[in-house]
């Protein structure tokens, strides 16, 4: 039954058709690209829906939004913030707290496109590498980044942060950050699977923490239908989060903050095991139907 990673999703495509088997992926790409485009129509066509970059922006000349992770670094560096950035970061943080922290990673961050393509290449060319970073490296980095900010009094991570760098240079002028994009691609494709987004990025770690108790979660609602094809594991950027929900006896909710709510598992599952709904209703219905106590 165990399929090659290369063929992940074939059953689902056969069952639902290509479009439905890529529904969530297409929605995500649409979301990522249109957000990027919103930033770009300003400098390109002088139409300013959004000004600035993803670190901090001004939406329709009125609503100020700021990245809570960059904001947090600035607090740790000892800066007393203005109300604008404080409220902007709060709005964004509340949003991700509700929809899932790492929705930022899979629905907004353009680097996700790069690392997804790298992983796709691995699957197509059947590239296998043994080296893996520890999945907790990112939390170590997150702590190190915040500590360093307070020790040095500057936003240290923002001197090298490839995420904000690439987002900024895509919107402003492209410096040498192509090299960084290439570096992340090579790292993910040829050195270590899902190394950047799944193991190293402290920004992702921050959003994992932020979204740990988010309202919207992936739910292995119909786990009884699972035929162990392993496609979801092959496609998932954080496969370790699936097992407790899919194979455990407890809640079918994918509870880990590391789940990016990318919903690719929903796409590739021919048996419609997974759904994306808010966390309360489904844990209740499952409990009453299957008498599984959470």
Partner 1 sequence: MSNLTNQTMQSRRRFLENISRAAGGAALFGLGLGIYSQSSKSLPADAIRPPGVSNEVDFLSACVRCGLCVRDCPYDTLKLAMLGDKVALGTPYFNSRDIPCEMCEDIPCIKACPTGALDPSLTHIDDARMGLAVLIDQEACIAFQGLRCEVCYNVCPVRDKAITIEYSHNKRTGKHALFIPVVHSSDCTGCGKCEHACILDEAAIKVLPIKLAKGEMGQHYRLGWEEKRRAGESLVTPDTQHQYNLPQGSRYDYEGEGLITPSQTTPFEKSALERLNEGKL
Binding site for partner 1 (CB under 8 A): 42, 51-53, 55-58, 64, 66-67, 70-71, 74, 77-82, 84-85, 88, 133-137, 139-141, 143-145, 147-149, 151-160, 164-165, 168-169, 171-177, 179-180
Closest CB 62 distance from partner 1, rounded Å: 13
The rounded distance, in Å, linking the Cα atoms of 157 and 177 is: 15
Report which DSSP code applies to 221. Answer: T
Closest CB 208 distance from partner 1, rounded Å: 14
Closest CB 88 distance from partner 1, rounded Å: 6
Burial class (CB in 10 A: 0-12, 13-18, 19+), 67: buried
Closest CB 292 distance from partner 1, rounded Å: 25
Closer residue to partner 1, CB minimum distance, 62 or 126: 62
Closest CB 285 distance from partner 1, rounded Å: 34
Closest CB 162 distance from partner 1, rounded Å: 9
The residues, ordered by sequence, that sit 6+ positions from 290 with a Cβ below 8 Å of its Cβ are 224
Q: Are 89 and 63 in contact (CB under 8 A)?
A: no
Closer residue to partner 1, CB minimum distance, 34 or 131: 131
Closer residue to partner 1, CB minimum distance, 1 or 176: 176
Closer residue to partner 1, CB minimum distance, 71 or 196: 71
Closest CB 99 distance from partner 1, rounded Å: 22
Rounded to a whole number, what is the largest CA-CA distance in the chain?
A: 58
Tokens, residue 232: 């979801």
Exposure class string for 128-158: b at 16+ Cβ within 10 A, else e? eeeeebeeebbeebbeebbebbeeeeebbbb
The rounded distance, in Å, linking the Cα atoms of 294 and 280 is: 12
Closest CB 75 distance from partner 1, rounded Å: 9
**Strands of the sheet with 50-53, listed across from one edge:** 50-53, 56-59, 63-66
Closer residue to partner 1, CB minimum distance, 80 or 126: 80
Closer residue to partner 1, CB minimum distance, 141 or 276: 141
Closer residue to partner 1, CB minimum distance, 104 or 274: 104
Burial class (CB in 10 A: 0-12, 13-18, 19+), 99: middle
Sign of CA dihedral 104, 109, 111, 115: positive
How many CA atoms are closer than 13 Å to the CA of 119, on its beta-carbon side? 21
Closer residue to partner 1, CB minimum distance, 175 or 250: 175
């Amino acid at each position: 039954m165990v399929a090659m990673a290369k063929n992940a999703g074939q059953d689902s495509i056969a069952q639902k058709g290509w479009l439905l088997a890529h529904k969530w992926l297409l929605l995500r790409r649409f979301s990522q690209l249109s957000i990027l485009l919103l930033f770009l129509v300003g400098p390109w066509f002088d139409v300013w829906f959004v000004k600035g970059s993803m670190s901090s922006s001004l939406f329709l000349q009125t609503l100020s939004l700021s990245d809570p992770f960059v904001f947090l670094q600035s607090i740790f560096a000892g800066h007393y913030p203005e109300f604008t950035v404080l409220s902007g970061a709060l709005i964004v943080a509340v949003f991700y707290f509700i929809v899932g922290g790492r929705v930022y990673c899979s629905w907004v961050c353009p680097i996700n496109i790069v690392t997804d393509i790298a992983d796709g290449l691995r699957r197509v060319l059947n590239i296998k590498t043994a080296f893996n970073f520890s999945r907790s490296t990112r939390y170590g980095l997150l702590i190190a980044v915040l500590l360093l900010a307070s020790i040095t009094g500057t936003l240290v991570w923002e001197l090298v942060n490839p995420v904000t760098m690439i987002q900024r240079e895509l919107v402003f002028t492209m410096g040498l950050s192509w090299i960084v994009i290439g570096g992340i691609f090579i790292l993910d494709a040829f050195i270590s699977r899902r190394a950047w987004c799944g193991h190293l990025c402290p920004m992702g770690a921050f959003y994992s923490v932020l979204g740990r108790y988010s309202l919207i979660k992936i739910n292995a609602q119909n786990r009884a239908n699972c035929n162990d094809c392993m496609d979801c594991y092959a496609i998932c950027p954080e496969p370790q989060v699936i097992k407790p929900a899919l194979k455990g006896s407890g809640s079918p909710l994918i509870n880990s903050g590391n789940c990016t709510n990318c919903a690719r598992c929903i796409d590739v599952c021919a048996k419609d095991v997974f759904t994306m709904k808010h966390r309360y209703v489904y844990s209740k219905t499952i409990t009453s139907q299957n008498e599984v106590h959470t």
